[in-house]
Amino acid sequence: MKYIFSFLFFIGVSVVGAQQVLPIKIAKFTELKSNKCKALEKNLKAELSRNAKWKSLIASKKMSIAVVDLSNHDIKYAGVNGNNMVYAASLPKIAVLYAVMDAIDKGSVKDTPDVRKDLKLMIAKSNNAASTRMIDLVGYEKIEEVLRNAGSMLYDPGTGGGLWVGKRYAAAGKRYPDPLKGLSHAATPYQAANFYYHLVFGKLINFERSVEMLDILKDPELGHKFVYTLRDIAPNAKLYRKSGSWKNYHSDSVLVWGPERKYILVALIEDSHGEQIVRKLVEPVEKVLKASENLNCSK
């Protein structure tokens, strides 16, 4: 059976042919954690554990995954070490994007062509100079403020932390480490997935700003990790993505939106072969998702 998407159950949906336009307007928004599916989580962990190396990485919390199945109105979230916060290199630049867009919306930062150019460079090419300019533009405290916003709560000490940016992407500059682990660039799979989940439904800042952030995130210009595989197996899907790598730390996050697949996938890996592991994750995850349609998520 093909992995066909149908969101006809949602209210106020824009449809272009068989492909739905993001973000989606819905009558009632439920928090991602309320969509946790124990059965999907069990199946995901079992499939990943078929690989002995991955099983070992999971056991040592050096492999952490989050998946959100958006294939129909019955949204399902599953995590493997989902609340494990680790160093995530450039992936938390999505938090900088959020903070700058929030500042633009509130009028505390002027919306200029140079700012927009830097935001795109920061996300599409992971440009460190542009990222540092954007961090300096808003400051660490502003970034922390939006991440702790009660409406989205992308950093929550009660659930292991989340997204955090506490250092410029440059050699110079003071650190502003997270309160739990003292990390400067951090993420949990759950909160990275939660960022994209809020965007899907236009709930990050507001609908209009969510549209703009999705536009900045789409069409990644770096073709490694998830993108390497997805461009081969899902050439018609739209990809909204941010990744990161530093030494043995390899992270990737993507919202996949296509005619036969719709999901969010986040991976945080600590291993010298992490880039290759992330590439290879896509197909087993899709295998699990394709078999998840009739799962009883209460068990």
Predicted pLDDT of residue 295: 86
Provide CB contacts within 8 A for 64, sequence distance 6+. 79, 80, 81, 82, 84, 86, 188, 189, 267, 268, 269
- pLDDT, tens only, 89-141: 999 999 999 999 999 999 999 999 999 999 999 999 999 999 999 999 999 99
Greater confidence (11 vs 52) lies with 52
- Per the prediction, the chain carries an average pLDDT of 92
pTM of the model: 0.93
Strand partners, 45: none
CB 229 within 8 A of CB 251: no
CB 44 within 8 A of CB 65: yes
∠ CA 161-34-226, nearest 5°, is 65
Predicted pLDDT of residue 8: 37
- pLDDT, tens only, 228-285: 999 999 999 999 999 999 999 999 999 999 999 999 999 999 999 999 999 999 999 9
- pLDDT, tens only, 61-89: 999 999 999 998 899 999 999 999 999 99
Mean pLDDT for 196-219 is 97
Predicted pLDDT of residue 10: 41
- pLDDT, tens only, 150-204: 999 999 999 999 999 999 999 999 999 999 999 999 999 999 999 999 999 999 9
Predicted pLDDT of residue 11: 35
CATH architecture of the domain with residue range 15-290: 3-Layer(aba) Sandwich (3.40)
Name the residue ranges covered by the structural domains of the chain: 15-290
Predicted pLDDT of residue 7: 39
